[in-house]
């Protein structure tokens, strides 16, 4: 006996006028059904100030208290017991939780007087191009769920990522490259590839990761003896067979996505090797990013490659650095990580500005949450900090943000945001708006309703926008 899926059942309702109108409405929402390539450039809903995004993801939760949000009060409270209610006493006596002062000194930098820890030696020179935001909050203290929420808006995974939504809404200006590319660490972040998934969107909108070691994309080159002409003939035959199958099963969009992927892979063979060859850059550019130097070489290569990808029309590039999960020895752990990323990030902002790309490229720096002003004690020594979803620093540059400003604030110990407080869904809405997308209009029909990045709607953080 043949069984019908729920989707087959809905298609079977096509005889009714209401179902016909419903199908037309759904089709209008999907770029794949608009008679054009799924990644073809599309206009947004409102005027845009940014065209591309470079998202610098500091996986593990960097401490705002030890980077861009100084808390002098912690010097006074250092090693006193952290008690939510009642008086404080010496942690040396109790062995319980205690306040921890930052091991880093801070300075006021630039004409804007931005707060920045002194071990950020290079980024200090870029603070007047940066908007520091201290009011964001998330829901989870667990790395995978917090990563999912920052990347997809949903703590439990399975939804499209921010990069997927943006390429779904705007397409990409280079049809020979994926619109959304990811530069991960050797080990994927907690939660894995679901952090750049297309979710319920068509497969065209998933992120394409580039391997940090060896060939960036496996099997990009054809086997020996296979010419471009052979490949084209094979693709044409495969396309003919697939088109016949697709005509019999129009509701199965996965086949269309796979056919497009074959064609994209063929076109990528001519463009990708040149774009990924950072040896084409000058020695001065390599030195700017800290390439061929330690500890900046690996992340410097990623940042330079991100600039080259955006320069060549990739809509959304996500770059990973981690892990910042410093429960122990925060001075050493955060200190080493800052030395890895400081020069490359400053170089990226400087280089984008030099190339005339910073105004149209939105650069975002963040982790999945912030860190607490307190921690446990071992042998009377202050070590690190725990997870904190109630306070964090996110900074943005270029792409229409309010450069040279610090927006929002946390309380005197950095435990919670207290000014210009917004949930991460509002940050997502704001990023979309800077790119000319309205979260309430950027929807996709799935699971019986139209879904959106913010889940159930959010609001623009007006203070961030120039």
What integer pLDDT is reported at residue 37 of this predicted model?
A: 80
Question: In this predicted model, what pLDDT tens digit does every residue of 234-291 receive, in sequence order?
Answer: 556 666 666 666 666 666 666 566 656 545 554 555 556 677 888 899 999 999 999 9
- Does 6 map to a domain? no
> By mean pLDDT, which of 8-12, 133-137, 345-349, 391-395 is the weakest?
8-12
Please state at what angle helix 162-170 crosses helix 424-434, rounded to 10 degrees.
30
What integer pLDDT is reported at residue 203 of this predicted model?
A: 87
CATH number, residue 371: 3.40.720
- Does 164 map to a domain? yes
pTM metric for this prediction: 0.84
- Does 397 map to a domain? yes
Cβ atoms < 10 Å from Cβ of 88: 13
- Does 198 map to a domain? yes
| Average pLDDT over every residue of 162-188 | 93
What integer pLDDT is reported at residue 375 of this predicted model?
A: 83
d(CA 370, CA 69): 11
d(CA 399, CA 408): 20
In percent, how much of the chain has pLDDT > 70? 75
What 3 state SS string does 116-157 have?
A: EECCCCCHHHHHHHEEEECCEECCCCCHHHHHHHHHHCCCCC
- Number of domains the chain is built from: 1
d(CA 180, CA 167): 7
- Does 108 map to a domain? yes
**Mean per-residue pLDDT of the chain:** 85
- Does 234 map to a domain? no
What integer pLDDT is reported at residue 367 of this predicted model?
A: 98
Question: In this predicted model, what pLDDT tens digit does every residue of 367-396 receive, in sequence order?
Answer: 999 999 988 665 556 578 999 999 999 999
What integer pLDDT is reported at residue 176 of this predicted model?
A: 82
What integer pLDDT is reported at residue 251 of this predicted model?
A: 60
Question: In this predicted model, what pLDDT tens digit does every residue of 93-135 receive, in sequence order?
Answer: 455 788 999 999 999 999 999 999 999 999 999 999 999 999 9
- Does 17 map to a domain? no
Residue 91, pLDDT > 60, answer no
- Does 241 map to a domain? no
What integer pLDDT is reported at residue 221 of this predicted model?
A: 59
Q: What range does the domain containing 152 cover?
A: 36-217+314-464
| Average pLDDT over every residue of 171-178 | 88
Comparison of pLDDT for 227 and 146, the residue scoring more: 146
d(CA 8, CA 200): 17
What integer pLDDT is reported at residue 27 of this predicted model?
A: 40
What integer pLDDT is reported at residue 260 of this predicted model?
A: 61
Question: In this predicted model, what pLDDT tens digit does every residue of 20-57 receive, in sequence order?
Answer: 334 334 444 444 444 568 889 999 999 999 999 999 99
């Amino acid at each position: 006996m043949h069984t019908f899926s729920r989707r087959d059942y809905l298609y079977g309702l096509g005889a009714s006028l209401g179902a016909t109108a419903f199908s037309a409405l759904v089709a209008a929402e999907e770029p794949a059904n608009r008679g054009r390539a799924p990644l073809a450039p599309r206009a947004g809903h409102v005027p845009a100030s940014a065209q591309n995004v470079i998202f610098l993801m500091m996986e593990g939760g960097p401490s705002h208290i030890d980077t861009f949000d100084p808390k002098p009060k912690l010097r006074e409270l250092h090693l006193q017991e952290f008690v939510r209610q009642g008086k404080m006493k010496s942690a040396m006596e109790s062995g319980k939780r205690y306040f921890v002062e930052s091991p880093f000194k801070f300075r006021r930098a630039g004409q804007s007087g931005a707060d920045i820890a002194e071990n950020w030696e290079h980024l200090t020179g870029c603070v007047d191009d940066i908007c520091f935001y201290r009011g964001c909050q998330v829901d989870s203290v667990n790395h995978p769920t917090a990563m999912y929420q920052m990347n997809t808006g949903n703590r439990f995974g399975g939804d499209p990522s921010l990069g997927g939504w943006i390429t779904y809404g705007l397409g990409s200006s280079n049809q020979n490259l994926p619109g959304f590319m990811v530069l991960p660490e050797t080990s994927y972040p907690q939660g894995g590839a679901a952090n750049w998934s297309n979710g319920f969107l068509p497969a065209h909108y998933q992120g394409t990761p580039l391997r940090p070691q060896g060939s960036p994309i496996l099997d990009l080159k054809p086997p020996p003896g296979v010419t471009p002409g052979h490949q084209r003939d094979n693709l044409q035959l495969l396309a003919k067979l697939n088109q016949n199958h697709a005509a019999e099963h129009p509701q199965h969009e996965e086949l269309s996505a796979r056919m497009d992927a074959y064609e994209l892979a063929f076109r990528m063979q001519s463009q990708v090797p040149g774009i990924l060859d950072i040896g084409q850059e000058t020695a001065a550019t390599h030195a700017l990013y800290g390439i061929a130097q330690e500890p900046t070489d690996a992340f410097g290569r990623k940042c330079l490659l991100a600039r080259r990808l955006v320069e060549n029309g990739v809509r959304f590039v996500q770059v990973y650095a981690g892990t910042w999960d410093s429960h122990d020895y925060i001075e050493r752990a955060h200190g080493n990580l800052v030395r890895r990323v400081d020069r490359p990030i400053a170089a990226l902002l400087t280089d984008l500005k030099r190339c005339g790309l910073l105004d149209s490229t939105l650069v975002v720096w963040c982790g999945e949450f912030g860190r607490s002003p307190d921690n446990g004690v071992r042998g009377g020594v202050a070590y690190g900090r725990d997870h904190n979803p109630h306070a964090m620093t996110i900074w943005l540059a270029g792409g229409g943000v309010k450069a040279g400003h610090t927006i929002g604030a946390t309380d005197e110990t950095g435990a919670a945001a207290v000014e210009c407080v917004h949930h991460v869904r509002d940050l997502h809405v704001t990023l979309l708006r800077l790119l000319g997308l309205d979260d309430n209009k950027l929807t996709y029909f799935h699971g019986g309703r139209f879904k959106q990045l913010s889940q159930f709607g959010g609001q623009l953080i007006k203070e961030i926008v120039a």
